[in-house]
């Protein structure tokens, strides 16, 4: 039965992909006037970190509400939860106002969102497309995989990009997907993550990156895959029920300021000016054709570009990444940097905060080598919100690191969707922003240092020079652990048993 289902599944051959391009920013739109008043004539672009999850969701909603011409969204995940429904309801409202909405999602996690996506697509001015979709039995992720067993090699490649462009003048890029856990709205577990609000000359380049994906042959209109997508009252009624205000408004408290001292973007938009840090920005992005490029070993990729940027460091390199698997190439870079006297500081997930045990196994293989090279190595606590102030209000929930960012020589910032692992290098498509700005670099260092010293363990060798110790940096009293802190014997045993079956190239 599985063989028959897998053999019958195929993508439609005759697909009508009507090309479209980003709508260029106009000086006459309200957001364009705000950007003009927020940047000086000498500024290339302006930037602002959004480390607080509640602020990050609020910023997206405020921009959507103020859009008058276009909204382009590109995400790996848009969940059918409170945050996801809140965003989709705001997109519906924008489309009803006459705003063109283009929503591009990776198809891996869209099974539970079928009715929501079909309902949103039933409104005028909305088009939804899916990247590298599953060909058949799209009801659940399990049925999708079973019916696609002969196509697994293609489906292993996913679009991991995160990007939103509004009216061609403001953009948000970074590590966050659209789901409760990325906005400190989950009662079970949240992520420490970050976004970058972007204005100025870099925004049109981000819009171009979106267009390249939107018009790619690897992207399929939702209507070509789902026969339920119709501009009919029934689809809209179901969407209205699913996104009713009671179930689509996150019930969270909003702090007066974030950890950098910034207030609500919405209030600043109301006053006609937003606080931005000037800088010179660049965008790196993988091409959609990366999924058909074969074994390129990371060449011509965001990973290669960012690694090259790090390789040019002269004095310091601070890395914050949830799944840090350096591999032989990364270790060679670390050894080379340390030999030149470059100070390296790395913050990543501990066993207790890591939501991907296999990725932790890959990282742990290089932990001792990094310490011997002289790397300052930190692992985030599995309960970061009990110690961190300013990242969110859910102190009782567990959490993990999801932010992907770095500071080079205290002057250059990287933030994006790319994990430092083989999957981001060779398999998934990614996007990253690089900004030359000492002030923005200082702000990011503040964010990382708060996580390191407020809710992380510093690793070091024990007296024997071989065993690893975890030094508690966030407790009222210093404490030393000789095993992975906040983990049980069963969790450590599971990792040990899985380790021989975790090939690095698949992590």
- DSSP E strands, 161-312: 163-166, 170-174, 189-192, 195-200, 219-221, 277-285
- DSSP for residue 24: P
Rounded Cα–Cα distance for residues 104 and 290 (Å): 17
Active site residues: 160, 162, 167, 402, 404, 409
DSSP string, 25-58: P-TTSHHHHHHHHHS-TT-SEEEEE---HHHHHH
Rounded Cα–Cα distance for residues 160 and 106 (Å): 7
| Angle subtended by helix axes 82-97 and 53-66, to nearest 10 | 20
**Number of other residues whose CB lies within 10 A of the CB of residue 28:** 9
328, two tokens: 């032989």
Rounded Cα–Cα distance for residues 435 and 195 (Å): 13
Rounded Cα–Cα distance for residues 37 and 432 (Å): 27
352, two tokens: 């207790």
DSSP string, 144-183: HHHTTGGGHHHHT--B---EEEETTTEEEEES--BSGGGT
């Amino acid at each position: 039965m599985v063989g028959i289902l897998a053999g019958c599944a195929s993508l439609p051959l005759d697909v009508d992909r009507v090309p479209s391009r980003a709508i260029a920013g106009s000086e006459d739109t309200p957001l364009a006037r705000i950007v003009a008043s927020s940047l000086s004539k000498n500024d290339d672009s302006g930037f602002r970190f959004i480390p607080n999850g509640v602020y990050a969701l609020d910023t997206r909603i405020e921009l959507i509400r103020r859009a008058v011409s276009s909204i382009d969204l590109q995400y790996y995940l848009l969940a059918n939860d409170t945050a996801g429904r809140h965003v989709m309801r705001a997109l519906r409202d924008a489309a009803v106002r006459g705003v063109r909405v283009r929503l591009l999602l990776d198809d891996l996690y869209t099974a539970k969102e079928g009715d929501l996506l079909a309902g949103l697509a039933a409104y005028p001015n909305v088009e939804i497309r899916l990247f590298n979709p599953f060909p058949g039995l799209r009801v659940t992720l399990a049925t999708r995989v079973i019916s696609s067993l002969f196509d697994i090699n293609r489906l292993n490649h996913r679009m991991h990009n995160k990007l939103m462009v509004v009216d061609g003048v403001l953009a948000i890029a970074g590590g966050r997907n659209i789901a409760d856990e990325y906005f400190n709205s989950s009662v079970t577990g949240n992520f420490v993550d970050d976004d970058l609000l972007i204005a100025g000359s870099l925004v049109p380049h981000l819009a171009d990156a979106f267009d390249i994906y939107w018009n790619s042959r690897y992207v399929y209109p939702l209507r070509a895959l789902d026969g339920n997508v119709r501009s009919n009252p029934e689809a809209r009624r179901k969407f209205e029920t699913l996104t009713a205000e009671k179930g689509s408004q996150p019930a969270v408290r909003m702090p007066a300021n974030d950890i950098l001292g910034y207030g609500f973007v919405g209030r600043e938009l109301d006053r006609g000016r937003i606080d931005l840090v000037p800088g010179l920005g660049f965008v790196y992005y993988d091409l959609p054709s990366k999924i058909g490029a074969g074994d390129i070993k990371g060449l011509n990729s965001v990973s290669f570009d960012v690694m090259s940027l790090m390789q040019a460091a002269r004095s310091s390199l601070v890395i914050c990444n949830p799944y840090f698997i350096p591999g032989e190439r990364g270790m060679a870079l670390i050894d080379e940097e340390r030999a030149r006297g470059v100070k390296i500081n790395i913050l990543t997930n501990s066993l207790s905060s890591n939501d991907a045990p296999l990725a932790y196994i890959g990282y742990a293989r290089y932990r001792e080598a990094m310490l011997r090279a002289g790397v300052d190595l930190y692992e985030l606590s599995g309960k970061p919100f009990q110690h961190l102030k300013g990242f969110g209000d859910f102190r009782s929930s567990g959490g993990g690191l999801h932010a992907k960012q770095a500071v080079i020589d205290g002057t250059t910032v990287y933030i994006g969707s790319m994990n430092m692992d083989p999957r981001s290098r060779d398999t998934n498509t990614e996007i990253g922003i690089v900004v030359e700005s000492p002030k923005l670099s200082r702000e990011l260092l503040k964010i990382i240092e708060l996580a390191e010293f407020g809710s992380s363990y510093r690793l070091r060798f024990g007296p024997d020079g071989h065993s690893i110790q975890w030094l508690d940096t966030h407790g009222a009293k210093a404490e030393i652990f000789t095993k992975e802190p906040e983990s049980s014997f069963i969790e450590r045993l599971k990792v040990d048993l899985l380790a021989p079956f975790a090939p690095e190239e698949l992590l």
